[in-house]
Amino acid sequence: MTAPTTTTERTGYFAPTTRRAALDLLADGGPTTVIGGGTLVYPRLARDVPTPRRLVDLARLPGIDRITTEGHGVTTLGAAVTYGALARSPQTPMLLRILAAGITGGPQIRNQGTVGGSACYANPSSDVPGALVALDADLVLADASRERRLAAREFFRGPFATALKKGELLVAVEVPDISGSWGYAKLKHGGSGWPVATASAFLAHTGNGSISAVSVSLGAVAAVPVTVDVPPDLAVRAADADPSARTGLRDLVEAADPDWWTDEQADATYRRRVAGAVAARALSRALNGDPA
Ligand SMILES: Cc1cc2nc3c(=O)[nH]c(=O)nc-3n(C[C@H](O)[C@H](O)[C@H](O)COP(=O)(O)OP(=O)(O)OC[C@H]3O[C@@H](n4cnc5c(N)ncnc54)[C@H](O)[C@@H]3O)c2cc1C
């Protein structure tokens, strides 16, 4: 058998053991499918959905499945860290620990699916994009010649669309240590469903403990995550179920007027209607110190 002379001729399964080898495989622009945990890619291959048959599996790349915290207040998640690892590790920022524990699909999906795979797939009906935006995370992207960092709010470009360029890999997600209170809420239809709406609420405190700023990042409701700044007094009253504050919060969320998302689970009108209520639930969790 004659060995292929260029990488464009190479099809088949590759599991490189260095980042350089992985990026070289991607560098020639030949059609390639990257595999993180494979929970979305493998079913696609099995269903015979047209998918490039040069498969580059990241599983053996050093550090790709690690969670590390260094002295500078940033937690780095390798792109192939699974939800199971996130849920188990004490190093995981709390919001992501809650998110990971609540991914449906059972232990198989949580122990195989990765936060990086979800980010790159950019399904609007997913927990991950909204939480990464809420956390002000950076995505670390690399190609054969350089590495760059992009804020999560710039990475997600639309339904199933990201800022990843041809030849680039997501190598890590960096989460800054932001002190404050968090609350997470999601609405899903049935125990095994995907989210219809998610909300990550963040409260910043002043030195004397009062609330100085409140923001809510909504996921699964629009083409890309939406962040709404909420006046602290409104947030407190909405969390307390004050009806006029609930209406005020809903109006604030609706005024953001994003590109509301429709899929087989719920249409845009429904998502627009429920987003404020899910935001109120997340706020109430953040205020009560009971984040999930
Ligand atoms: C039964 C089931 C239940 C689920 N429930 C939920 C849920 O409740 N909430 C939720 O948010 N999600 C849910 N998901 C989706 C789940 O989050 C994703 O399947 C998972 O995170 C994808 O990660 P992966 O590593 O397996 O992706 P893969 O299948 O490996 O890859 C997905 C896509 O990203 C690309 N890719 C992967 N890694 C990289 C990288 N590092 N750089 C560049 N491109 C890359 C691949 O080429 C592919 O296009 C569910 C999925 C299933 C099957």
The candidate with the shortest Cα–Cα distance to 289, out of 212, 208, 203, is 203
Which residues touch 9 (CB under 8 Å, ≥6 apart)?
30
Q: Which of 120, 155, 168, 184 to mutate to test the pocket of ligand 1 (most atoms within 8 A of CB)?
A: 120
Q: What is the pLDDT of residue 5?
A: 39
Using alpha carbons, list the distances in angstroms from residue 131 to 64, 180, 227: 20, 15, 10
**Residue range(s) in the chain whose domain bears CATH number 3.30.43:** 11-57
Q: Looking at residue 10, what is its pLDDT?
A: 67
Find residue 229's DSSP bridge partners.
215
Residue range(s) in the chain whose domain bears CATH number 3.30.465.10: 67-176
**Is the C-beta atom of 59 inside 6 A of ligand 1?**
no
pLDDT tens profile 37-91: 999 999 998 887 888 878 999 999 999 999 999 878 999 999 999 999 999 999 9
The CATH architecture annotation of domain 67-176 reads 2-Layer Sandwich (3.30)
Q: How far is CA 68 from the centre of its chain?
A: 18
Candidate from 26, 41, 261 with most ligand 1 atoms within 8 A of CB, to mutate: 41
> Where in the chain do CATH 3.30.390.50 domains reside?
181-288
Cα of 208 from ligand 1 centre, angstroms:
42
pLDDT score for 4: 42
The correct CATH number of 181-288 out of 2.60.120.10, 1.10.10.1100, 3.40.190.10, 3.30.390.50 is: 3.30.390.50
212 alpha carbon to ligand 1 midpoint, in Å? Answer: 36
Of 164, 141, 142, 170, which Cα lies nearest the Cα of 20? Answer: 142
pLDDT attached to residue 3:
40
The length of the chain in residues reads 292
CATH 3.30.43 given to domain 11-57 = yes
Instruction: Of 150, 146, 157, give the one whose Cα is nearest residue 122.
Output: 157
- Regarding the beta carbon of 131 and ligand 1, being less than 6 Å apart is answered no
Predicted pLDDT of residue 192: 80
Low-confidence ranges of the chain (pLDDT < 70): 1-10
Instruction: Give the sign of the dihedral formed by CA 110, CA 114, CA 117, CA 121.
Output: positive
Task: Give pLDDT, residue 1.
Answer: 40
